[in-house]
Amino acid sequence: MTTITLDVPAGRPFGLLRHSLALGKRSLIKTLRTPEQLLDVTLQPVIFILVFVYLLGGAIAGSTHAYLQFLLPAITVQTLMFASMATGTNLNSDVKKGVFDRFRSLPISRAAPLVGAVFGDLIRFVVSITVSFGFGLIMGFRFQTNPVEVIGAILLMLFFAFSLSWIFVLVGVLVREPGAVQGIGFVTLFPLTFGTNMMVKTDTLPSWLQAWVKINPVTDVMASVRALTLGDGPIAGPVTHTLLVSAGILVVFAPLAVRAYRRRA
Amino acid sequence: MTYAFQAEGLVKRFGATTALAGIDLAARAGTVLGVLGPNGAGKTTAVRILATLLRADEGRATVGGYDVVRDAAKVRRLIGLTGQYASVDEDLTGQQNLELIGSLLDLRRKDSRSRAKELLEQFGLAEAGGRAAKTYSGGMRRRLDLAASLVGRPSVIYLDEPTTGLDPVKREDVWNMVRSLLDSGVTVLLTTQYLDEADALADEISVIDHGSVIAHGTPAELKHKVGGQTIVVRPSDPGRLDEVDRLLRETTGHETESSGRGVLTAPADDDRVFTTLVRRLDEAGIGVIELSLRLPSLDEVFFTLTGAPVPHQNAHDSLEMAV
């Protein structure tokens, strides 16, 4: 008795990119259909800006306006980093659904559902940056550089957040509950985002904390965005650092996440 | 004989639990293999291995001549999978769900759109196609799920308990759809907990229990093996129940049982019993409002094959669902 050999239909090239875009579109449709999902990236920057600027602005910078100029670029980076966590939590609850079984049974790369989720979540980053800058502008924040540099700052932040979300994709694939992704996320993001010169100048900090702030890569990201939006400080150094760190995170964590997903399946 | 898929000696363990204990399954091209078994028997595990979602610890399986592990990518181009729990995306519309599968299967945009339309129509979902799937009823979701597994015109289709939890009318709906699939020459693996479903759809049935095949054959062979079809008669005039009782005892050679008010049942282990009874009832001028041959339930099949009632292992069930 023999087994029949069936003809396999041929695929088309550039599968990973096309499949990831199709799955990214799926995430995007889901987000747009439940816009309350975007509440975190909408409310958090507004609340943080209000609290920090009015509570601390006078004491730290002498005036709320001066402090807003100093704080806003950095707080935009911070909100963005918290937004990248959501990719992990969303994916964690998504992977358990039957529809992911179907994706696994399709002739697509195992990376595609993950890349798709990250692509789809780029909308969160765009919303997050828009709200943060938009609300800042309403409160009196002013860009001090030309539009090209501002756009550069935005693209740089998007690339950084895109890379960072792969860490949370890995966590999202590994842990059992979405809550665990958040727990791990907060524990790592608090020292990374607050342990910077986001709120005060580095030289006002105790020396051990200065040491951390100086090696913390997020400090470079914030310095890049400040330089590109306010024109203070050097651009090349921090931007190069940010690009290298982002690329490094991407190269390490994206393959790890795909491997973990493949094992789970 | 040529097989469209073939599994040999599949073993799968989850920790201390053995889900599959060396199972063989095969279906000839263009036929339906029914895999009948209770919850936790290993049905879903077997399907998941054949669908490349899970790796067997031992044994091998091929689909369309391709190994499910070594040639998984090729196998995935040949199969369509409909899970036990409708696996459609709740937030997407019916149309979007099908178009997504189309683009993942490398259909061109225009083709995937028209294929989606065509399937929605075929499954009676044309009007609901623009609504989010979360607004669909249970039956509509199953149909959308089935449609999603057909987007790529697969040669082998796995239907994992496609009617569990559906009411009888919806079950009939799904059965008709499965029958219409067969006209296009596909091979189907159908898992079910219902003998009547396997009987209605399958060309051959493998009965599995505790991860092993305990019986295999055509529905007729299997029914013959487990015997025990039951005749059910309900005369239109309850006053003539005694006469019916006598006729039933004479034709079947068994004692009758009354399974309800005005209803008599008796085992029928001869092919001609039913027609004889019809003739005798007619001769006696007795009208009936119910007269049927009932297949044994899964419980009865198991009792006959294993001498033990259907195992109820809740821990095992939940494990299988979780995997």
Asked whether the predicted pLDDT for residue B232 surpasses 50, the reply is yes
Half-sphere exposure of A102 (CA within 13 A, CB side): 34
Tell me what the mean pLDDT of segment A221-236 comes to. 90
Average pLDDT, chain B: 86
User: Using one digit for the tens of pLDDT, what is the confidence trace for B156-165?
Assistant: 999 999 888 7
Task: Give the pLDDT score at B317.
Answer: 39
Could you count the other beta carbons within 10 Å of the beta carbon of residue A44?
Answer: 18
Distance (Å) from the C-alpha of residue A80 to the closest C-alpha of chain B?
25
Q: Is there a contact between B210 and B12 (Cβ–Cβ < 8 Å)?
A: no
Does the beta carbon of B4 lie under 8 angstroms from any beta carbon of chain A?
yes
- Pairing mode, strands B32-36 and B187-192: parallel
Contact (CB<8Å) A9/B85: no
Q: What is the share, in percent, of chain A residues with pLDDT greater than 90?
A: 44
SS3 of B209-231: the string is: ECCEEEEEECHHHHHHHHCCEEE
Helix (H) or strand (E) segment spanning residue A242: helix A236-264
Beta-strand runs (E) in A34-90? none
Contact (CB<8Å) B152/A99: no
Q: What is the share, in percent, of chain B residues with pLDDT greater than 70?
A: 92
User: Using one digit for the tens of pLDDT, what is the confidence trace for A104-123?
Assistant: 889 998 899 999 999 998 98
Tell me what the mean pLDDT of segment A41-68 comes to. 87
- Per-residue confidence at B261, pLDDT binned at 50, 70, 90? confident
Distance (Å) from the C-alpha of residue A33 to the closest C-alpha of chain B?
7
The span from the CA of B10 to the CA of B19, in Å, is 10
The span from the CA of A133 to the CA of A248, in Å, is 27
Distance (Å) from the C-alpha of residue A196 to the closest C-alpha of chain B?
40
Does the beta carbon of B86 lie under 8 angstroms from any beta carbon of chain A?
yes
The span from the CA of B245 to the CA of B149, in Å, is 50
Q: Please say whether the dihedral angle defined by the alpha carbons of residues A171, A173, A264 and B66, taken in this order, is positive or negative.
A: negative
Tell me what the mean pLDDT of segment B4-23 comes to. 92
Residue in chain A closest to B65 (alpha carbons) equals: A5
Contact (CB<8Å) A97/B87: yes
- Per-residue confidence at B265, pLDDT binned at 50, 70, 90? confident
The span from the CA of B294 to the CA of A38, in Å, is 56
Task: Give the pLDDT score at A37.
Answer: 82
The span from the CA of B6 to the CA of B24, in Å, is 8
Does the beta carbon of B30 lie under 8 angstroms from any beta carbon of chain A?
no
Tell me what the mean pLDDT of segment B178-204 comes to. 88
Give contacts of B148 with chain A, Cβ < 8 Å.
102
Residues facing B288 on adjacent strands:
B235
Contact (CB<8Å) A105/B51: yes
User: Using one digit for the tens of pLDDT, what is the confidence trace for B137-159?
Assistant: 888 888 899 899 999 889 999 99
A–B: how many Cβ contacts below 8 A?
Answer: 106
B65 → closest Cβ in A1, A6, A97 = A6
Asked whether the predicted pLDDT for residue A265 surpasses 70, the reply is no
Distance (Å) from the C-alpha of residue A188 to the closest C-alpha of chain B?
30
Asked whether the predicted pLDDT for residue A202 surpasses 90, the reply is no
Please give the DSSP secondary-structure letter assigned to residue B136.
S
Task: Give the pLDDT score at B228.
Answer: 66
Contact (CB<8Å) A106/B76: yes
User: Using one digit for the tens of pLDDT, what is the confidence trace for A154-185?
Assistant: 999 999 999 999 999 999 999 888 888 889 98
Tell me what the mean pLDDT of segment B56-71 comes to. 92
Does the beta carbon of B31 lie under 8 angstroms from any beta carbon of chain A?
no
* Least reliable range by pLDDT among A65-74, B115-124, B190-199, B256-265: B256-265
* Least reliable range by pLDDT among A24-28, B13-17, B86-90: B86-90
The span from the CA of B12 to the CA of B17, in Å, is 9
